Amino acid sequence: MSIILAIESSCDETACALYDTQRDKLLANHIYSQIALHAPYGGVVPELASRDHIRKLIPLIDQALSTSGLRPDQLSGVAYTRGPGLIGALMVGATVARSLAFAWSLPSLGVHHLEAHLMAVMLEDSKPDWPFTALLVSGGHTLLVRVLGLGRYVVLGQTVDDAVGEAFDKTAKCLGLSYPGGPALSALAETGDPSRFAFPRPMLNQKNCDFSFSGLKTHTASCWKKNQTDDDRENEMLKRDIATAFECAAVDVLLKKTARALEQTGDTRLVVAGGVSANKRLRLAFKTYFSEAGCDVYYPRYAFCTDNAAMVAMAAAMRMSEGECDEGGLQVKSRWSLESLRPPEEG
C-alpha cells in the first residue's frame, strides 16, 4: 500500500485526507470549516484561524485514521499546503505534518495551494491529458494558466486588483449577506431577474487575459444604494436582481477572457478550478459555450472546488511518485508564484 496523509490549513478550513496512490482511491476526506468562528467579524481573522487549526487538526487526523481503519505504519508519506496562504495558518499545518512525518519516519512534502487546486480535477474519473488551459478562480486568485505538465505553468493573465471570489464576498457583504458571501450571493442570484440591470464587463475591450473586479464590486454597491426604497419587499427583489446582474457580469467576463486564452494556446481542453468554480451559473455557461466550441471542459466535483485536503494529497502523490520530498528546515510561504514551480524530476 502507498497511502498519503494530506493536510490543508492555508486559510479558514482545517482539512485532512488519506489517499491511496496505488489504487487511485480517496480513503478519507474530512473538513472542519471555521465559518462560525469568523462570521461575527465579517471575514477571516488570521490569528483566530491559526489557533483553531491548532485545536482541530490532530483530532481530524485521528478521525481520518480511525474511520478508515488505518495505522500510521501503513502510511507512505505526509503532505501539507506550504503556501500561498495565511502565514500562521500555514505554519500550523506544516509543523504538524513535519512533526508527524519525523515521528513516523516518513517523507513529507509541502505543496503549492494553487497547484493543488489545479490537480483537484485529477481526482475525478474523467481527467484531462496535458497540456490544458486552466481558469483558477478562488478567494485570493484569479488566473488563466497554461498547464504543460505537473510543475510546468505559464500564466496567461490574472486579476489586476480583487480576485473574483473576493469580489463575490465583498459584494455579498455590501448587500448585507453574511460571511462567507460567495455561496450566499450565488444562491440569491439564482432567483433574480437578469434583464433588470446590465452591469459593466470590466477590461473586456482590452485584448489580453487580465481581469479587474474591483470596479464591478463598486458598481454593485452604488446600484444598491441608488435604487433602495422604503418598501422592504421591493428592496428584497432589488437585492436579488443586483446579485444576478453581478453574477452574470462576472461569469461573462471570466468566460470571454477564457475564450481568448484558449485562442492563444490552441488547447482543446479546459480545466476550471478553485472555490468560484462551484458557481452553478459559471459551470453551466462554460459547459454550454466551450462544448459548442469543441472544447472538453473539466471541473472538480463541488466538494473539491473549495479548499480541501484531497487535492493536496493528489498534488503530493503526483510529485512524491517522482521521488520528491521536503529537504532541510521548515519553510512556509505566504506569497509564492505558480510559475516558479518546477516539475518533480527537475527538483
Residues that bind ligand KG4 (CB under 6 A): 11, 138-140, 165-166, 168-169, 180-183, 186, 274-276, 278-279, 306-307
Q: Name the binder of 213 from ligand KG4, Zn ion, none, CB < 5-8 A by kind.
A: none
Q: Name the binder of 168 from Zn ion, ligand KG4, none, CB < 5-8 A by kind.
A: ligand KG4
Closest approach of ligand KG4 to the CB of residue 260, in Å? 22
- The answer to whether residue 307 forms part of the interface with Zn ion (CB under 5 A) is yes
d(CA 327, CA 120): 25
Q: How many residues bind Zn ion (CB under 5 A)?
A: 2
Binding-residue pattern over the window 119 to 148 for Zn ion, x denoting contact by CB under 5 A: -------------------x----------
Q: Name the binder of 77 from ligand KG4, Zn ion, none, CB < 5-8 A by kind.
A: none
Coil, strand, or helix at residue 199?
A: coil
d(CA 221, CA 210): 23
Among 251, 245, 241, 242, CA closest to 272:
251
Closest approach of ligand KG4 to the CB of residue 192, in Å? 14
Closer residue to ligand KG4 in complex, CB, 20/169: 169
For the record, the C-alpha cell of 38 comes out as 469568523
H/E run at residue 11: none
Q: In sequence order, what are the beta bridge partners of 5?
A: 18, 78
Beta-strand relationship, 142-149 and 152-158: antiparallel
Closer residue to Zn ion in complex, CB, 11/150: 11
Closest approach of ligand KG4 to the CB of residue 11, in Å? 6
Among 228, 259, 251, 237, CA closest to 168:
251
d(CA 146, CA 124): 20
- Work out whether the CA dihedral 208, 212, 213, 218 comes out positive or negative: negative
Closer residue to ligand KG4 in complex, CB, 209/272: 272
Binding-residue pattern over the window 250 to 289 for Zn ion, x denoting contact by CB under 5 A: ----------------------------------------
Q: Name the binder of 183 from ligand KG4, Zn ion, none, CB < 5-8 A by kind.
A: ligand KG4
Closest approach of Zn ion to the CB of residue 186, in Å? 17
Q: Name the binder of 180 from Zn ion, ligand KG4, none, CB < 5-8 A by kind.
A: ligand KG4
Closest approach of ligand KG4 to the CB of residue 149, in Å? 23
Q: Name the binder of 279 from ligand KG4, Zn ion, none, CB < 5-8 A by kind.
A: ligand KG4
Closest approach of ligand KG4 to the CB of residue 136, in Å? 9
Q: Name the binder of 276 from Zn ion, ligand KG4, none, CB < 5-8 A by kind.
A: ligand KG4
Closer residue to ligand KG4 in complex, CB, 70/282: 282
Which range touches Zn ion (CB under 5 A), out of 165-173, 237-245, 256-264, 303-311?
A: 303-311
Q: How far is CA 188 from CA 176, 245, 260, 279, 285, in A?
A: 12, 11, 29, 12, 18
For the record, the C-alpha cell of 264 comes out as 492563444
Amino acid residing at 295: C
Q: How far is CA 12 from CA 34, 110, 119, 151, 261, in A?
A: 5, 18, 20, 26, 31
- Cell match 513535519: residue? 98
On the question of a cis peptide bond just before residue 131, with omega within 30 degrees of 0, the verdict is yes
Amino acid residing at 292: E
Closest approach of ligand KG4 to the CB of residue 189, in Å? 8
DSSP symbol at 181: H
Binding-residue pattern over the window 46 to 65 for Zn ion, x denoting contact by CB under 5 A: --------------------
Contact 343, 148 (CB under 8 A): no
Q: Which residues bind Zn ion (CB under 5 A)?
A: 138, 307
